[in-house]
């Protein structure tokens, strides 16, 4: 079925700082967030992106748990981007924000490269144990450490097997050498 393009109906109408009690969580947000880790990040890093609030009713569409963490920390104000949307568009924004976050993934090798040089994991959402697990995971990725050596004329024609993550790849010895 061909995709029909629709005009963009949502745009940010205002970015500002507001009294934290003037906005409230969207009532139908099924997302469960880790308010404690978010509070740790806010304490260490500050608020590095605004929450998104519907100008129509002051409900928080994106950043409900950031708001909860800021309240937990005793903040009086919070940075907000306002959008002006109807109820259906508000629900779509909440669903899209939650679902796209769920579908994201990581390049674990790149993630380890970032984390391994951190002096402290405070405010990152990671612990030393998390990083240890990632290091163990990526350590086995790539070719086996001990290359196969041909023992006789028969072995020199055998395929080589490389294991990369969960993938097993076989190729001719001439490409390995």
The closest of 118, 103, 111, 42 to 73, measured between CA atoms, is 42
Q: Mean pLDDT across the chain, nearest whole number?
A: 83
Whether this prediction's pTM lies above 0.85 is answered by: no
Q: What is the pLDDT of residues 69-105, one digit of tens each?
A: 999 999 999 999 999 999 999 999 999 998 998 888 8
81: DSSP letter: E
How confident is the model at residue 116, as a pLDDT?
81
């Amino acid at each position: 079925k061909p995709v029909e393009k629709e005009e963009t109906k949502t745009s940010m109408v205002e970015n500002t700082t507001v009294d934290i009690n003037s906005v409230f969580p969207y009532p139908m947000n099924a997302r469960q967030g880790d308010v404690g880790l978010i509070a740790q990040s806010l304490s260490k890093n500050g608020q590095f992106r605004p929450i998104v609030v519907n100008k129509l009713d002051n409900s928080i569409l994106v950043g409900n748990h950031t708001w909860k963490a800021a309240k937990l920390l005793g903040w009086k104000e919070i940075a907000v981007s306002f959008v002006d949307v109807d109820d259906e568009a508000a629900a779509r924004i909440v669903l899209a924000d939650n679902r796209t976050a769920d579908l994201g993934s990581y390049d674990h090798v790149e993630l380890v490269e970032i984390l391994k040089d951190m002096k402290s994991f405070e405010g990152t959402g990671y612990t030393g144990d998390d990083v240890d697990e990632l290091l163990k995971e990526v350590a086995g990725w790539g070719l086996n450490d001990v290359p196969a050596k041909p023992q006789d004329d028969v072995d020199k024609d055998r395929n080589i097997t490389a294991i990369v993550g969960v993938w097993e790849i076989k190729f001719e010895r001439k490409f390995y050498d």
